[in-house]
Structure 1
Amino acid sequence: MLLLWMWTIAASAVAAPAPRTEGQRLRAAQAPNVVLVASDAFDGRLTFHPGSQVVKLPFINFMRTHGTSFLNAYTNSPICCPSRAAMWSGLFTHLTQSWNNFKGLDPNYTTWMDVMEKHGYRTQKFGKLDYTSGHHSVSNRVEAWTRDVAFALRQEGRPTAELVPSQHEVRVMAKDWKNVDAAVAWLRTQGVNQTEPFVLYLGLNLPHPYPSPSSGENFGSSTFRTSLYWLEKVSHDVVTVPKWLPLSEMHPVDYYSSYTKNCTGTFTDKEIKNIRAFYYAMCAEADAMLGQIILALRQLDLLQKTIVIYTSDHGELAMEHRQFYKMSMYEASAHVPLLLMGPGIKANLQVPSVVSLVDIYPTMLDIAGIPVPQNLSGYSLLPLSSEVVKNEHQLTDFHPPWILSEYHGCNANASTYMLRTSQWKYIAYSDGASVLPQLFDVSSDPDELTNMATKFPEIAYSLDQKLRSIINYPKVSAAVHQYNKEQFITWKRSVGQNYSNVIANLRWHRDWLKDPRKYESAIGRWLKAHTTPEAVRRK
């Protein structure tokens, strides 16, 4: 019986979807407007029960009531630039080689917005984009390039919560509010007067943690900052302290992540709950920004003519698994919000299918009635969010029953690959042999504390075979490893004789300066080694 059950699970993981159709025109006489609001670091689990009970998100709730929410939406890479590159290109991370926050799309890459503009849409962008190459700090780049080096150095300040001086301040994230105001002004002065449909994009920084200048000259972003106004939106009695595995029982990649994020020390329950409550309050502020767009559309009589999409590039661990930030395949990091609302979108519909951000590209073209290229990694979400689907058995006719996510950046010392199906989450690392995989039954273990890879080896093997049919991940890992070396060597040459001083004073300076010769020697040995990814080591 057990073997039959495992065969059924494996078969569902490898089932192929029906052939994709070309873009479908909505029934409206004119193609609708589209507004896409994308947050940074918003945990998708907060958009439905029970996560929705922890903080008041009235405008996300409005979208959920009047539109379709995807209960299992995921990032294709849990870090800013690679994730956004997938969303704007419609291609998996390894296909665009968007390896880290420095390596994204070429600035001239044709995005879905470019295609829509070519087909008559008026286009406008405000706020955070972050999907092209060449950005982010030197520290961020060097940390990603040297992740295979046999050392672990703290790269971040200790995560902390900070209350703004003006306790009832509403506009805490001033930069985001400025972009929101600009987007609303554009709708009022230009969007409302358009004779052709428009597509408006608004990128938010919230609820990403704030920079932490108190950590020194070179600092990361480990501050969860908000005001009492937003904290009042949080149901503090349901803010939990997540369960942690003992350090000795953590997966080696998780340990490296926790250490480099400065999270292996002692935290009180009060500290943890404060960080989480402040994060949820930051989510409430992001929801209010979304609300300004929805209210403007309603006031201008555009809401019924506009499809509104809300999502995020990745989530936020907020001290789950002894980590903050993202860079992990755990639910808090990889699960993103995805809600659609507007003409042709079914109201109050919750879709359980696993979907991901590469689906945004074909969805945008489908909304506009533009034929969808067959070489994309994603699938249009319109069939899943309309009356087309009559029952759950039809879901796999429109989208494969799996999604792929991969990670190659800093704070994880092995390339990481996730295959997510309806029940299982399989995570493979590096070459598939040097680092043990993880297997979680997310339905029965939502906290992802029990790795079942050794308990159910047949399921792990089946999912690994499916993963390898999608991506030759050992080959990709080797390519990333070689890329990291080449980029580091080029950078090292560019700083010349100042190399020792520059590398010692990056974000890891507090640890590096304790024994700079030791760490320079470790890098030297790494540069001389062959290109096969090294086994993951702890400090």
Structure 2
Amino acid sequence: MKPNVLFLLIDTFRADKFFGKEKTSYTPNIDLLIKNGVYFDQAISCSDGTIFSWSGIFTGLHPFKTGIKSQGYKKINSNITSYFSILKNQGYNFYSYIPSLTDSLGIFPEWKNNDYSFDYYWNLSEGLGTKIINLLESKKMNEPWFYYIHVEDLHFPITLSKEFNNDKFGKSKYERKISAMDVWIGKILKKVNLKNTLVVITADHGAYIKAVNNANLKINLEVDGELQTHVRNLGNLIPKPLQPLKSKLFFFLERIRKKRKYQKIKDLELTPYEKRALLWQRSDVEHFLFDELVHVPLLFLGYNVKENTKVSQQVRIIDIFPTILDIIGIQNNNKDIDGQSLLPLIEGKQIPEEPAFMETHYLLEIESQDKIGIRTSQFKFFRDTNDPTKLVHLYDLKNDPFENNNIAKIKPDIAKKMEEILQEILQNSSPLPEDDEFDEEETKIIEDELKRLGYI
């Protein structure tokens, strides 16, 4: 019998808040899982947004090769083989608890449990955690199974119970929510037999945390999650004909909020890293690919995985599924992918480090300044999506891990080399076959659902 697979994706979870000296949350369960598995501390997402990240994770391709984006969000090209197809051919049964948006994207398989879909903002402590555990305990999951759990607890806006809303559990609401999640992660993993189950824990992307806590300064501009949730729910009740007016009001209020925040911090001595976190808003037109947005946790444990191992080589989330297949003993005949198996690294061997391609998600209602770029263990490079000469950023990650100093102008030779690597990735892409299943109405459904969930 093939092993089961539990795939836990925690939306918006930053790597530096999962493990390391920058975290202030209380996470005994996560810490124990790291000790019991192999943790990759330099895993990089292919995007700062969920849909692009999903398309990369579940196909092993850079998102721009999947057809997910072309004059609007689309479902992936039907000619592309997802890893779910490979697992299905090997007899796997699929179960999930996943946000409602997913049915429109063409990425995911048919789930066996009929109650798989949930509202995007349903948290573990609000009943989702209990449902996840009940399915594990039900004995209704036919083996071998693949169980995908997508957790939204850290997604904006963050809501907290009084129990966890104090400094013992973290210096920000974001980290206090991690402490609350940790309890449920422990409960869920206690129901899993690690001898015959491979567990993978990761994230789709990171987030700005609007709080600064250091020896010289403590300031928190995180929003009231409960209030924001009520406002969002009321906004969803507005009739479609009035949606343009709603959008204009939103952007008007965002400009006011931005000015107020700027007035609060303009006289403070802040690093660029601290300032961009405090000033970030959903309505920001200019997008970036800083590590707080794309550096994510990646942990393997259980079946065929050794314990207490940390790998510091840069890897990518598009490497996850090639690795899963290798660990559970399924041959991957699809060679036209960008990801690679990390099993050699897990076994203590060496493989070449590949540059991580990244791209920002784009706004729906206004034109955004989007970026593409690459990351290596030494440098981060990104620039305007359409013009290689505009908005060029280059950071020395070894000497400037918080990406405070853009050195593109003083190190043009390095920027040129990084652009050449980026161009090689972009040009090494065959045109996608014509997709007979594309439907403009589906694009509208996807984008309407994204707007309902708070995307703009």
The answer, yes or no, to whether TM exceeds 0.5 is yes
1:131 to partner: Cα distance: 5.1
1:454 to partner: Cα distance: 1.0
Aligned to 2:330: 370
1:308 has 2:199 as partner: yes
1:98 to partner: Cα distance: 2.0
Residues 85, 104 of structure 1: 8 Å contact kept: no
Give the Cα separation in 2 of the matches to 1:208 and 1:43: 11
Give the Cα separation in 2 of the matches to 1:364 and 1:345: 11
What amino acid is the match of 1:86?
G
Residue among 208, 227, 232 paired with 1:317 = 208
1:197 to partner: Cα distance: 2.5
Q: Deviations over 1:223-252 (max 9, x none)?
A: x3212322347555xx4xxxxxxxxxxxxx
- SS of 1:422's partner is coil
Q: What are the ranges of 5 or more consecutive residues in structure 2 without an aligned counterpart?
A: 107-120, 211-273, 432-439, 445-450
Give the Cα separation in 2 of the matches to 1:424 and 1:465: 14
Q: Deviations over 1:444-495 (max 9, x none)?
A: 212211001111111111111011111149x99xxxxxxxxxx89x98xxxx
Residues 76, 105 of structure 2: 8 Å contact kept: no
Cα distance change of structure 1 residues 380 and 77 upon mapping to structure 2, 3 Å threshold: same
Give the Cα separation in 2 of the matches to 1:430 and 1:59: 40
Residues 68, 341 of structure 1: 8 Å contact kept: yes
Residue among 300, 307, 314 paired with 1:340 = 300
Residue among 346, 357, 373 paired with 1:404 = 357
1:56 has 2:11 as partner: no
- SS of 1:207's partner is coil
Q: Deviations over 1:209-232 (max 9, x none)?
A: 13xxxxxxxxxxxxx321232234
Give the Cα separation in 2 of the matches to 1:128 and 1:78: 18
Cα distance change of structure 1 residues 60 and 40 upon mapping to structure 2, 3 Å threshold: same
Residue among 218, 225, 250 paired with 2:159 = 225
1:412 to partner: Cα distance: 7.3
- Structure 2 matches for 1:112-511, cutoff 5 A? 112-128=83-99, 130=101, 133=104, 173-174=122-123, 177-190=126-139, 194=142, 196-210=143-157, 224-232=158-166, 234=168, 239=171, 277-297=172-192, 302-319=193-210, 320=274, 321=276, 322-323=279-280, 328-372=288-332, 373-385=334-346, 387-389=347-349, 394-396=350-352, 400-410=353-363, 413-472=368-427
1:415 to partner: Cα distance: 3.2
User: Is the helix fraction higher in 1 or 2?
Assistant: 1
Give the Cα separation in 2 of the matches to 1:95 and 1:77: 13
What amino acid is the match of 1:91?
L
1:88 to partner: Cα distance: 1.4
Give the Cα separation in 1 of the matches to 2:359 and 2:302: 31
Give the Cα separation in 2 of the matches to 1:58 and 1:347: 17
Residues 80, 130 of structure 1: 8 Å contact kept: no
Give the Cα separation in 1 of the matches to 2:323 and 2:125: 26
Give the Cα separation in 1 of the matches to 2:307 and 2:408: 39
Cα distance change of structure 1 residues 112 and 130 upon mapping to structure 2, 3 Å threshold: farther
What amino acid is the match of 2:370?
S
1:39 has 2:10 as partner: yes
Residues 106, 133 of structure 1: 8 Å contact kept: no
Give the Cα separation in 2 of the matches to 1:337 and 1:49: 11
1:133 to partner: Cα distance: 4.4
After TM superposition, the score normalised by the length of structure 2 is: 0.69
Cα distance change of structure 1 residues 289 and 368 upon mapping to structure 2, 3 Å threshold: same
Give the Cα separation in 1 of the matches to 2:360 and 2:410: 26
1:73 has 2:43 as partner: yes
* Identity among equivalent pairs (%): 25
Query: Once superposed, what is the RMSD of the aligned Cα atoms?
Result: 3.4
Cα distance change of structure 1 residues 174 and 402 upon mapping to structure 2, 3 Å threshold: closer
Give the Cα separation in 1 of the matches to 2:38 and 2:391: 37
Give the Cα separation in 2 of the matches to 1:197 and 1:208: 31
Give the Cα separation in 2 of the matches to 1:368 and 1:64: 20
Residues 104, 132 of structure 1: 8 Å contact kept: no
What amino acid is the match of 2:150?
G
Residue among 94, 99, 102 paired with 2:64 = 94
Cα distance change of structure 1 residues 324 and 371 upon mapping to structure 2, 3 Å threshold: farther
Give the Cα separation in 1 of the matches to 2:11 and 2:455: 22
Give the Cα separation in 1 of the matches to 2:327 and 2:358: 25
Give the Cα separation in 1 of the matches to 2:281 and 2:21: 21
Give the Cα separation in 2 of the matches to 1:130 and 1:353: 34
- SS of 2:314's partner is strand
Residues 98, 150 of structure 2: 8 Å contact kept: yes
Aligned to 2:250: none
What amino acid is the match of 2:41?
L
Cα distance change of structure 1 residues 432 and 125 upon mapping to structure 2, 3 Å threshold: same
1:127 to partner: Cα distance: 2.3
Aligned to 1:479: none
What amino acid is the match of 2:420?
Q
Q: Deviations over 1:410-466 (max 9, x none)?
A: 187233112110111011213334513100112221221100111111111111101
What amino acid is the match of 1:121?
Y
- SS of 2:312's partner is strand
- SS of 2:129's partner is helix
Give the Cα separation in 2 of the matches to 1:48 and 1:417: 27
1:305 to partner: Cα distance: 1.9
Cα distance change of structure 1 residues 447 and 234 upon mapping to structure 2, 3 Å threshold: farther
Aligned to 1:82: 52
Residues 418, 427 of structure 1: 8 Å contact kept: yes
- SS of 2:68's partner is coil
